[in-house]
Amino acid sequence: MTKTILFLAAAGLLAAPAQAAPRLTPEQQLAKAIEGRVAGKPVSCIDPRLNANSRVIDRTAIIYGSGRTIYVQQPDNPGSLRSDDILVTELFGTSQLCNVDIVRLVDRNGFWWRGFVNLNPFVPYTRTETAHRE
């Protein structure tokens, strides 16, 4: 009888839905991305190869790069940003991605243009040595 009760209790635990971790707000996602990093002086342009490692935080920012230094772009109209959009960047006049360039937003499912964002200066966030060692 005891074995049966233990078996049923264990089966009940396995059948119970797992508690999903609470979803982070966009502001919390950005805070987590820059955690352990120090903001540097904003720059007008960055290497466009950083596009390969870009990610969007809904209605908040675009993060370019990975590794020790990342660049945070908080555009004038961040409400248009969705993490499931495809970013299409048009470079004007230089071989770098600059704050005068336009980033168009394309819906990933329907492949239609959704709008664009106006870029501001890019803020570099560099991992501190103590955070790098942890």
The pLDDT, as a whole number, for residue 6 is 40
Please write the tens of the pLDDT for every residue from 11-46: 444 455 556 778 999 999 999 999 999 999 999 999
User: What is the mean pLDDT of the segment spanning 102-116?
Assistant: 93
Q: What separation, in Å, do the N-terminal and C-terminal C-alpha atoms of the chain show?
A: 50
Residue 31 identity:
A
Q: How far is residue 49's CA from residue 97's CA, in Å, rounded to a whole number? A: 9
pLDDT classification of 7: cutoffs 50, 70, 90? very low
Q: How far is residue 42's CA from residue 63's CA, in Å, rounded to a whole number? A: 14
User: What is the mean pLDDT of the segment spanning 108-134?
Assistant: 86
Q: How far is residue 29's CA from residue 57's CA, in Å, rounded to a whole number? A: 7
| pTM of the complete model | 0.79
The pLDDT, as a whole number, for residue 13 is 44
